[in-house]
Structure 1
C-alpha cells in the first residue's frame, strides 16, 4: 500500500469514527431533550387537569341532588376543549359534555362517553383517546358522593413536542453537516504530515539496500519530527531507524571490505612460504648440485615454521573473535613482564632493555591466561626490537593501583608513521605495507599487534598507542584480579 492510500484509509476511518460519534451524541442529546421537555409539558398539563377537576367538583357540589347537572361548564374561565362528566355510585357516566368556542357545552355522544368507562375517581391521571375529539388527559375526583371527571386535550402538547423534535432534528442535521466539514478539513490538515512520513517510508523501502547502497536515504522533513505531536514522534522514530539502517549497512560494508582484505592478505602471507617450500623441494627432487640438501632442508623447515606460526596466529584470532573462554587464574603481571623482557634481551642484544616497576600501592595481580598475557608482552617487545635500530632503549614499565594494572612499553626509536598510527592494531598492518618479503628479512606478518588488542580485550582491558619521532609508547590497561572476576561474570551473564 502506497503512502496516499494509507493516508486516505486513515482519513476515511477517522471521519467515519468522528461522524458516528457526532451522530450518537446528537441523537442522545435530542432524545434527552425530548424526554425532559415532554416530562415538563406533561407535568404542566397534569397540573391544569387537576385544577379543572377540582373546579368541576366544586361546581358539581352546588347541585348535589342533580347528578346530571353540568352547569358549571358555562362558568367563566373554563378552557375551550375541556371535557367534564358526572358519575353515579357505580362509576357509570351519567352525563358528559365538552366546552366549545362561543357556544354552549356540547354533550358527548354514546361512543365518546363509552371511552370514559373504567376511569376511577381517585385523582390519578389517564390518557384516553376520545373518538372525534382526540387524545385527552383525564382525572377523576370523588367528594361526599359527588363524582366527576375532567380532562383537557393533549393535542397542543403533542404538537409542541413534535415541533420540538423536528426543530432539533433540523438543527442536529445542520450541526452534523458543519461539524463533518470542519472535521474533514482538520483531519486532512493534521494527516498531511503522516502522509509525508508514509511517503518517506515507501521511498526508503524502494531503495536498493540489498546491494549495499547506504548513502542518500530520504529522511522525514524536520517540520514533521516535532516530538510534541504523535505524528512528529513517528517521524522522528523513522529517521532514527533510517540512521540505524544506514550505519548498519555501512558497518557491514566495512566489515566485508576488511574480510576481503584479510583473506587477500592471508593468501599472500601463506603463498610466500609455500612457494619457498615448493621451490626448494623441486630443487631437491631434481638432485641439482647448485644447492646443498642441508641448506634446502633448513630453508624448508624455516618456511614451514613461518607458515605454521602464521596459521596459529590466524587460528588464535579466530578463537578470540568467537569469544572462546581463556584460561582463568591469578597472574602476577610484573613477573610476566620480567620474563618477557629477559626473552627479548636474549633475542635482541643490540638494544638497551630496561624494566621499571611501580608497585607501591598494590601488587600487579590480574585474573587471566598467563600464556596469552606473556604473548601480549612478547609481541610488544618484538615489535620494538624489529622496528627500531640497534642501540634503541626499550623500557617495560609496570604500574599497579587498586583500580587498574598498567603495562607500558616505550622506546626512543624513529616512531610510527602518522598515516599508519590509526590502524596499527588492524590485522596485516605493516610499516612497509608489502605482502612479499625475501627469506630472512626482518618484520612479521602484521598480526602481532592485532593479537595484542584481541587478547587484552578478551581480558576486559584496553590497549592504545602514542607515537612521535623519538618516543613510541604502547599502553596496556587491565582490571585487577577482583575487578576482573566481577567484570567477567557480568559479561558471561549478559551473553
Structure 2
C-alpha cells in the first residue's frame, strides 16, 4: 500500500469501512431474525409436544411394554389432529428407541432410518429445545425430549423453512450491500478526485519548476501555485502556500547567484581585455631585446626566452577566458557553412606535426558533411580534443578522429587507447578548471579550460558533447545538426583524401 496513490488509498479505505459496516449490520440482522424465527419454532414445538403428550397418555402401551423390532414403528401420536407436516416423534426406553417416525407432506406416517434413529439418542432429556441434523431427506430439526411414563418422548419440528428464510435474507442483504459498495466506491472516487484536484495542481506546479533550467543563466522563476490553491485554511492550501514561499526563496537565491556570476564574468572579460595589451607588450619587448644585436649574458638570454614563452602561455589562457566569457554572454558566433571533413583533416594534420610520437588516424566518409557555424571555433574544439589526447596519453598511443553523419546530425569522435579518465572526475570533465591528472599521464601543464571551451562552443552550435572512458579506451563525441543546404566549405585547409591515415607526420 505504500506505493498506492493517495486517491486509491482513500477510496479503498472508504469502501473497506462500508464493507465492514455491511458485514456487521448483516450479521446482526441475520442473528436477530434467526432468534425471532427460532422462538416461533420453539413455541410451535411446545404446542406439538402438548398434543403428542395428550395422545401418548391415552395409549398405556407407550409407558409399559415396548416392541423389539429392529426398525422401530411410527408412534401414533405423531399424526394426531393439529400436527403440521414434518412433525417428528419418538419414544425412548431402556436406552433404545422403541418408536420413531415423522409425518410427511402428504400427511402419511413415515419411519426413520437407522442413522436417524441413532441421532435421536443424543438428544438431552430435560424439556429444553435443541437443534440436531438428521441428514438424508429430513435435514435440520428442532427437538425436545420430555418424560413419558418409564421412558422419554421426543417431539421435533423441521427447520427447513427457517433455514430457507435465513438464506433468502442473507442473499438480499448481500446483494444490497454489494450494490451499495459499488455505488459508494464510484461516488467516493469522484468525490476524492474532485477534492484532490488542488493537490494535482500543486504537484503540476512543482513538476513545472523541476523542468526549468535552473543550473545556469538568467532564471525567471515566475511559476507559482494559484492563489485558490494556496489558502492556509485548508490542508492542500497550506502545502501550496509553503511551496510558494519556497519558490520565492529559490528565486531570490537564483537571482543572487546569477548576479554574482555576472559580476565574475564581467570581471573575467574585463581582466582578459586589459591583460592582452600588457602581455603583448611584455612579449614584444622581450623579443625585441633578445634580437637587438647586442650580445647578452647567457642567463639574461635564457630569462628573456622564459619571459617570452610564459607570456605566450598567459596570452593563450587569457584568450581562453575571454572566449568563455563571450560564450557565457551569449554572443553570436559566425554562421557560415562549414565542411567538417576538411576541418577534421586539418586538425589531425596539425596534431601530427605537434606530436609525431603518437599514432594518429583519420576516418572520413566519402561525401562532404556540411554544418552551419563558426569554422574557427569548431576547428578549435577538434584541436582541443586532439591536444587533450596528445597531452594526457603516453607516446605511441593510437588516436583516431572519425566523422560520421545520418539524415539530421553529424558526429565527430576522437578515440584513444590511453589509460583513460578517472571515474571520479569523468562526470565533470567539461567543467572549468577540472583536470583528470589522477589517471592520465601528462607531459605538460594545463589550465582545465580546453574541454570547457569544447562544451561551450558545441552548445552555442545547438549540439551536444559526451565522453565515455574505461582503461584502454576513451571516446569524446561531438554531435552537430546538419546544414540542410550544403555549400562550399569555409573551414581550415583540408587534408586530401579520406579513410584511415598512417601515423607518419
State the TM bucket, normalised to the shorter chain.
0.3 to 0.5
TM-score (norm 2): 0.46
TM-score (norm 1): 0.47
Which is helix-richer, 1 or 2? 1
Larger Rg: 1
